[in-house]
A and B are shown apart, each in its own frame.
Chain A
């Protein structure tokens, strides 16, 4: 229509242009809707799975490693609840009044034990080159979703704040994953290794039964979490690094545990491969999960928008306008360094003595003012 035209021709072209424009608008709307639908459906697709992962349900999981064996007791063993009552370490009843079930106060030496566990764990992991962090515990719900959790599902684990798009975190994995969201990192920055301390909040909706007594399943707890962002080629070796750190920590504390390669039916959407550690809890009479280490490859980074720019573009002969290599998605991994309540169960139940006291493992003593044992406050006869 830029050239010289007869009025009649011009009129035809104007009409044609208008039809095209209207057609385009309708199609673009369709495109948007399809795009949204595609996103919604595709987000349900789980991450791919490592070839060595056993296929099947929970019972197909394989044991990678077993360390130690159940401690033999020469006297009747108490569970952590009874030990806690006798040593005046917890208060569940008052918490049920103030807050509801599955809440608790820690008292006396249990407070010192929590602080010591957090300090020691942070210190040990920092020695291995991780940057310490404390994180926000309220985050936007979109960040929770981008990490692969469902804040608004029916049996959601996530507490939401009224009148807001904010949620309480269930793990520091979420705010740490969010630190570099929508960013392009320089390759030289990788790997980024963080160790984060936070309180965690979980609704535990749908969790009922005996596996919920005392500290085993609670709504609020302290946790030290490891998080790595790295190049794709390196994520498998960092997964090995993370599980090794966990095993070193648990061995130092003298725990008897087994490391499990979780079966495909038990992975959870973000994980390419997941190793759980279950420790022996004599009071419970069985193994209980104390940590989980996942390699999420690029599942989270594609949602969080975390990319890096490789420093050379050796594999890409086609140069773009500038000399920059195209970005790639990082891989992310997360692993529990210390989940306090489960660790307290392990320590109390495994280290209980006949006289009702509990011995503090040697590595923790410098972090607990040298305390060697939690002694009963009153003679056992009472």
Chain B
């Protein structure tokens, strides 16, 4: 029979060899160890899910079983160095990438990303080929099974049984390959950064464009001090004791600085709530998979992320992470959108690799308080919500009387998740330059594809005449945006340095006073003569 010849041995070998990608890392992956043994447990878990995953179009529901909890039951294979079994899968649109590969390649280049698009496409094509072969074999196996239902001669039956067995063995191997390819594809594809808004300037940091400039540097009639000196004279911080207790880049806030932090947080929350945002206080320990899904790298070399010993938990570097996680693996109703959150949390950053003068005092610290805005919305609306977020930030900073500029960040400075990013830099007279006080990113569907956040449009889309079995329209991924409403230490630098007076006191801006018990001035505790 044709089938038997096909599976005589050589054909399978050829087929299997064909699926092995050319690059050395992947060869190590396939050849590195005996194929079936170590993967058996993994295959058992993943096959149950991956069968569903592969036979349906990529947009459909990822079952809960794909969440970290189930997959974590299957430990990553030890001998593989580079290709670690991903513990979760991003719903990446590979077909779209393939169909738009030139645009994607250009984008990767413009963003200085080290994603390997060629490799991704290669693995994808191979995976498609194996998938096709798997489906073909399944068809043949079904045909054999059907044949066995009828009346047969014993020898014929025996032949069919053997054929069925060969097909089954072949299928098992191919399905294993499929799994491996799928994991590899995920791992490589996750490096591909988000696409870029057409108006974003192409290039490095120096290509960023100023969108808006508000105010101008204040003229001082006396020698100005930086925030560290002001803090020392007004007894507002203690860095030295913190260095003993915790290490460098830690600090205690004291006296009026405590009131200023609390005043800033309360005022900011209040202002943003007025604009229709739901206030939240979030966990500051999260599972590392959630950190990854938001586009951060908890385990890189120069990671910004603190991990907890003997646990899969990390400290958050921004409330964007726990807020992004709230609706993960969910399907939202269209009428719920947009969801607008304003979240207060402490943030923890290792600041590994950050050294030099831009690290004095409060400018770069390991722990700080931050109020963060987060929006989930329909794709068509994300650009306008991005404008809304930057407008809120600008209003907040203007209310506090700061001199600042809003910058449209260049493609080389965007970071993987952002489609477009606006940074605000405020004038810090003690530093003698502008310092970043906030960042507003439109991440489009980059995070939602990883976090699994979808919504169901309420009316059937007119472009889709084919209705599926139920009356439900297919789900779509939401867009997510995040923006800093107030990063307390940088804000403190701005306020102290800009509002210092000749007598050494610091004026509190009007809007904050009701949130500080009416305090209008931070006065020196002792006379200046001391």
A residues in contact (CB < 8 Å) with B: 91, 94-95, 97-100, 103-108, 110-112, 114-115, 118-119, 122-123, 131-140, 143, 159-164, 166, 168, 175, 178-182, 197, 199, 201, 219-220, 369
Closest Cβ of chain B: how far from A112's Cβ, in Å?
7
Q: Is B435 an interface residue (CB 8 A)?
A: no
Q: Which residues of A contact B252 (CB under 8 A)?
A: 133-136, 175, 179
* B241 adjacent to A179 (CB under 8 Å): yes
Looking at B38-46, B141-149, B153-161, B280-288, the stretch in contact with chain A turns out to be: B280-288
Output the nearest chain B residue to A199 by Cβ-Cβ distance. Answer: B346
Which 8 A-B pairs rank lowest in CB-CB distance, beginning with the nearest?
A98-B325, A178-B245, A111-B279, A132-B258, A106-B281, A136-B246, A136-B250, A99-B283
Contact A180 B254 (CB under 8 A): no
Contacts of A131 in B (CB 8 A): 254-255
The closest CB in chain B to the CB of A197 belongs to B258
Query: Which residue of the partner chain, among B282, B287, B309, B346, contacts A137 with CB atoms under 8 Å?
Result: B346
Beyond A104-B283, A164-B306: 10 further Cβ-contacts under 8 Å?
Answer: A97-B67, A99-B322, A100-B287, A105-B280, A105-B282, A111-B269, A115-B265, A137-B346, A162-B307, A179-B238
Does the CB pair A119–B367 fall under 8 Å?
Answer: no
- Chain B hits for A118, CB < 8 A: 262
What's the nearest-Cβ distance from chain A to residue B389, in Å? 20
Q: Cα distance A199–B316 when bound, in Å? A: 13
Residues of A within 8 A of B283 (CB): 95, 98-99, 103-105, 219-220
Q: Determine whether the beta carbon of B284 is less than 8 Å from that of A199.
A: yes
Given A105-B322, A133-B254, also A181-B259 (CB < 8 A):
no
Query: Is B58 an interface residue, CB under 8 A from the partner?
Result: no
In the complex the two chains form, is B258's CB within 8 Å of A122's CB? yes
Q: Pick from A111, A135, A138: contact of B280, CB below 8 A.
A: A111
Bound Cα distance from A181 to B251, whole angstroms: 15
| Chain B interface main SS type | mixed
Docked complex Cα distance between A97 and B67 (Å): 9
Q: Is the CB of A99 within 8 A of B285?
A: yes
Residue of A nearest to B254 (CB): A133
Once the chains bind, are A201 and B258 in contact (CB under 8 Å)? Answer: no
Q: In the complex, how many angstroms separate the beta carbon of B113 from the nearest chain A beta carbon?
A: 27
B88 within 8 A of A: no
Assess A122 versus B281: contact at CB under 8 Å? Given A161-B307, A180-B241: no
Assess whether A133 is in contact with B258, with CB atoms less than 8 Å apart: yes
Residue of B nearest to A175 (CB): B245
CB-nearest residue of chain A to B330: A94
Mark B318-337 against chain A: 1 for CB-CB distance below 8 A, else 0. 00001001111100000000
Minimum CB–CB distance from B327 to chain A (whole Å) comes to 7
Candidates A159, A163, A164, A178; contact of B244 at CB < 8 Å: A178
User: Smallest distance from the beta carbon of A251 to chain B beta carbons, Å?
Assistant: 22
- Measured CB to CB, the closest approach of chain B to A87, in angstroms, equals 13
In the complex, A143→B242 CA distance in Å?
Answer: 11
CB of A134 within 8 A of CB of B244, answer no
- Evaluate whether A97 and B329 lie within 8 angstroms (CB atoms) in the complex, with A104-B283, A107-B279, A160-B308 already known: yes
Interface string of B229-253 (1 = CB under 8 A from A): 0000000001001101111001111
A269 to B304, CA, bound (A): 37
Residues of B within 8 A of A159 (CB): 285, 308-309, 311
- Interfacial chain A residues near B280, Cβ < 8 Å: 105-107, 111
B355 → chain A closest CB, angstroms: 18
Q: Contacts of B348 on A, CB cut-off 8 Å?
A: 137-138
Across the interface, do A140 and B258 meet the contact criterion of CB distance under 8 Å?
A: no
Contacts of B238 in A (CB 8 A): 179
Closest beta carbon of chain A to B293's beta carbon, Å: 10
Q: Report the separation of the CA atoms of residues A201 and B284 in the bound assembly, to the nearest whole angstrom.
A: 9
Q: Is the CB of B253 within 8 A of A133?
A: yes
CB distance from A3 to the nearest CB of B (A): 51
A139 to B287, CA, bound (A): 22
Within 8 A of A (CB), among B164-184: none
Residues of chain A within 8 A (CB-CB) of B328 are 97-98
Q: Is B517 an interface residue (CB 8 A)?
A: yes
Is B346 a contact partner of A107 (Cβ separation < 8 A)? Answer: no
Residues of chain A within 8 A of B247, CB atoms compared = 138, 140, 166
Total residues of chain B contacting the partner, CB 8 A: 52
Partner of B290, one of A98, A108, A123, A138: A98
Q: How far is the CA of A94 from the CA of B286 in the complex (A)?
A: 11
| A residues in contact with B322, CB < 8 Å | 95, 98-99, 105
Which one of A94, A112, A134 has the greatest number of beta carbons of chain B within 10 Å? A134
Contact for A161 among B259, B281, B308, CB less than 8 A:
B308
The answer on a CB contact under 8 Å between B278 and A138 is no
B245 contact set on A, CB distance < 8 A: 136, 139-140, 143, 175, 178-179, 181
Q: What A residues does B325 contact at CB under 8 A?
A: 94, 97-98
A132-B308 CB under 8 A given contacts A95-B283, A98-B287, A115-B266: no
Whether the Cβ atoms of B270 and A98 lie closer than 8 Å is no
Could you give 20 example pairs across A and B, Cβ below 8 Å? A94-B326, A97-B67, A97-B329, A98-B325, A98-B326, A99-B290, A105-B283, A132-B258, A134-B253, A136-B246, A136-B366, A138-B246, A138-B306, A138-B348, A139-B246, A143-B246, A159-B285, A168-B308, A175-B246, A219-B285
Complex Cα gap A220–B241 (Å): 25
Measured between alpha carbons, how far is A134 from B255 in the docked complex, in Å? 9
Contact partners of B286 in chain A: CB under 8 A: 98-99
Q: Could you tell me the distance in whole angstroms from the C-beta of B332 to the nearest C-beta in chain A?
A: 13
B344 within 8 A of A: yes
Q: Once the chains are docked, how many angstroms separate the CA of A139 from the CA of B278?
A: 33
Tell me the bound Cα distance from A219 to B348 in angstroms: 17
- A142 to chain B: closest residue by CB: B245
CA–CA, A197 to B367, complex, Å? 14
CB of B497 closer than 8 Å to a CB of A: no
Which B-chain residue is minimally distant from A95 (CB atoms)? B283
Contact (Cβ within 8 A) B285 A201: yes
Q: Is A105's CB under 8 angstroms from B253's CB?
A: no
Q: Note all chain B residues with C-beta closer than 8 A to A94.
A: 325-327
Please tell me if the beta carbons of A160 and B309 are within 8 angstroms of each other in the complex.
yes
Closest Cβ neighbor of A176 among chain B residues: B252
Q: Which residue of A lies closest to B284 (CB)?
A: A220
Give the Cβ gap from B499 to chain A, nearest Cβ, in Å.
Answer: 20
Contact of B278 among A100, A108, A115, A219 (CB under 8 A): A108
A134 engages B261 (CB within 8 Å): yes
Let me know if B297 is at the binding interface, CB within 8 A: no
The residues of B that contact A106 with a CB separation of less than 8 Å are 280-281
Asked if B313 lies at the interface with its beta carbon under 8 angstroms from chain A, I say yes
* A residues less than 8 Å from B279 (CB atoms): 107-108, 111-112
Q: How far is B325's CA from A94's CA once the two chains are assembled, in angstroms?
A: 8
A99 — which chain B residues lie within 8 A by C-beta? 283, 285-287, 290, 313, 322
Q: By the criterion CB–CB under 8 Å, are A115 and B258 in contact?
A: no
Cα–Cα, bound, A219→B311 (Å)? 14
Residue in B259, B282, B313 whose Cβ sees the most chain A Cβ within 10 Å: B282
Please tell me if the beta carbons of A103 and B241 are within 8 angstroms of each other in the complex.
Answer: no
Closest to A110 in B: B281
Which residue on B lies nearest to A143, using beta carbons? B245
The docked-state distance in angstroms from the alpha carbon of A99 to that of B241 is 32
Distance of A97 Cα from B75 Cα, bound (Å): 20
A19 to B412, CA, bound (A): 71
Among A95, A97, A106, residue most surrounded by chain B Cβ atoms (within 10 Å):
A97
- For B311, list chain A residues within 8 Å (CB): 159
B307, chain A: closest CB distance, angstroms: 4
Closest to A181 in B: B244
Cα distance A106–B341 when bound, in Å? Answer: 12
In the assembled complex, the CB of A179 is this many whole angstroms from the nearest CB of chain B, namely 5
- Which residues of chain A are near B262, meaning CB under 8 Å? 115, 118-119, 122, 197
Complex: A166 Cα to B250 Cα, angstroms: 12
Measured in the bound complex, the distance between the Cα atoms of B278 and A108 in whole Å is: 6
> Using a CB-CB cutoff of 8 Å, which residues 65-88 of chain B contact chain A?
67
What is the bound-complex CA distance between A131 and B257, given in angstroms?
A: 11
Contact with A along B474-510 (1 / 0, CB 8 A): 0000000000000000000000000000000000000
- For window 385-430 of B, CB contacts with A under 8 Å fall at none
Task: Specify which chain B residues have a CB less than 8 angstroms from the CB of A136 in the assembled complex.
Answer: 242, 245-246, 250-252, 366-367
